[in-house]
Amino acid sequence: MPNSASSTIAIIGGGAAGYFAAIRCKELSPDLDVHILERSHKVLAKVAISGGGRCNVTHDLRQPRAFSAFYPRGRRELLGPLSRFGPDQTVEWFESRGVELKTEPDGRMFPTTDSSQTIIDCLESTARSLGVQVTTSCGVHEILRSDENARPTARFQLLTAHDTRPMLAHAVLVAMGGHARSAPYDFLSALGHTIQPPVPSLFTLRTRDRRLADLSGVAVPDATVRVDGTKLLQRGAVLITHWGLSGPAVLQLSAWAAREFHARDNRTTIEINWTGRESFEHVDEELQHQRIRLGRRRLINDPWPGVPKRLWSALNVAAGIHPETTYGTLSRASRQSLAQQLVASRFDISGTAPNKEEFVTCGGVNLKEVDLRTMESRLVDGLYFAGEVLDIDGMTGGFNFQAAWSTGYLAGEAMALADRGTQKTG
């Protein structure tokens, strides 16, 4: 690790954003000393486990506005970065380095090898060939600003777990990812930055509700899930698991309502409309029509369209309907009770569980304090941010990596251009 500062760029964090920034910076300014300082013993650890080991690199939505709609935090602010380095550029970036990507029917993009190691190998070999230096087991715990006279060469001193001597740098990129607690952000607060409190996003919901007890594995393709007492709702597929509820609609709701869940200590009530969006009145009316059409048939044998048979049986039991009941003998009270179960089943949520495929942090460095054109701090010259350390998080589907690629690329470019500017005027 160096302790001279001339043209040294320190990148805190060897993740997706840190690597992308280092590579872009070195490409534009080969003479810069670009150092990645990684706290753990291994770089790109999240890339390795991402997308179930396949790495969902980005999403095939090519319009920045459509793409940015998938970020509960950062939607507006990411429009610019996505216009400059969006999914098109990501695909091109990887393909020009020999990594072919494929698009799955739902738009998620993966390497054709179906292995995240392909992405890791590409990032590591590109960085190595450009001369990016990587130090592992090197957590940064403090950034000190050097006095004004030292500018522009040694604006920062970094205190690390690796060396008793501080590392000197003229620019620092913080790409240290998201964290569950606020303590890891303390050294950024010490520089004057506001940290939006970190809370989890993209999680599944635990419930011990008896209606779901034996339904693990049942999937409903089109349901609406709402947090009780709010307008926060999401429509899509719901999957019943052995501990509760998962699937795209639940994960999306967990992202949009991340702060509400946290504020309620993850104990709340949700309401599910298993029909998608039909109203109570419509469902009640349809069930009355079934009385004429299917009079002698047992309810149990003719589920509501789109509602799997096992769930339908459980909802019938919850409505107090005997398995032998036919449409013709269904009482008004039972019919209305069933309609209620179909359009507004309420579930007490007792907690959350991480989604194994992907999870992120909601919260991080306040976006108002960062210039999203360069990713430079508006408070501290020469300090940059990229990736999940920012108060940006997206849905599952490649949106989180795209935010890391976009912001990392722009930060790397800006640091290189700032260096050229310094050389001209210096």
Residues contributing to the site for ligand FAD (CB under 6 A): 12-18, 37-40, 45-46, 49-51, 55-56, 139-140, 175-177, 184, 358-360, 387-388, 398-401, 404
For the CB of residue 181, give the shortest distance to ligand FAD in the complex, in Å.
12
Q: Which one, 220 or 380, has the nearer CB to ligand FAD?
A: 380
Min. distance of Cβ 368 from ligand FAD in angstroms? 19
Comparison of 39 and 335: residue with beta carbon closer to ligand FAD: 39
Of the two residues 369 and 388, which places its CB atom closer to ligand FAD in the complex?
A: 388
**Minimum CB distance to ligand FAD smaller for 220 or for 404:** 404
Least Å distance, CB 209 to ligand FAD, is 27
Smallest separation (angstroms) from ligand FAD to the CB of 385: 9
The sign of the dihedral angle between the CA atoms of 131, 132, 133, 134 is negative
Least separation, in Å, of the C-beta of 167 and ligand FAD?
Answer: 11
167 strand-pairing partners:
158
Around Cβ 48, how many Cβ atoms within 10 Å?
15
CB of 358 to ligand FAD, least distance (A): 4
- Minimum distance from residue 394 beta carbon to ligand FAD (Å): 7
| Minimum separation from the CB atom of position 322 to ligand FAD (A) | 45
Nearer to ligand FAD, 56 or 241 (CB): 56
Q: Which is nearer to ligand FAD, 139 or 221 (CB)?
A: 139
- At residue 265's C-alpha, the angle toward residues 179 and 177, to 5°, is 10
Q: Dihedrals φ, ψ of 296, to 5°?
A: -90, -5
Closer to ligand FAD by Cβ: residue 159 or 219? 159
Taking the complex as a whole, how short is the minimal distance between the CB of residue 211 and ligand FAD, in angstroms? 30
Q: Which is nearer to ligand FAD, 411 or 418 (CB)?
A: 411
* Strand bridging mode 8-12 / 33-37: parallel
Q: Write the secondary structure of the chain as one string of H (helix), E (strand) and C (coil).
A: CCCCCCCEEEEECCCHHHHHHHHHHHHHCCCCEEEEECCCCCCCHHHHHHHHHCCCCEECCCCHHHHHCCCCECCCCCHHHHHHCCHHHHHHHHHCCCCCEEECCCCEEEECCCCHHHHHHHHHHHHHHHCCEEECCCCEEEEEECCHHHCCCCCEEEEECCCCCCEEECEEEECCCCCCCCHHHHHHHCCCCCEEEEEEECEEEECCCHHHCCCCCCEEEEEEEEECCCCCEEEEEEEECCCEEECHHHHHHHHHCHHHHHHCCCCEEEEEECCCCCCHHHHHHHHHHHHHHCCCCEHHHCCCCCCCHHHHHHHHHHCCCCCCCEHHHCCHHHHHHHHHHHHCEEEEECEEEECCCCCEEEEEECHHHEECCCCEECCCCCEEECHHHECCECCCCCHHHHHHHHHHHHHHHHHHHHHHHHHHHC
Nearer to ligand FAD (CB atom), residue 159 or residue 417: 159
Q: Which two tokens stand for residue 2?
A: 């160096």
Report the residue number, 137 or 279, with the smaller CB distance to ligand FAD. 137
CB of 43 to ligand FAD, least distance (A): 6
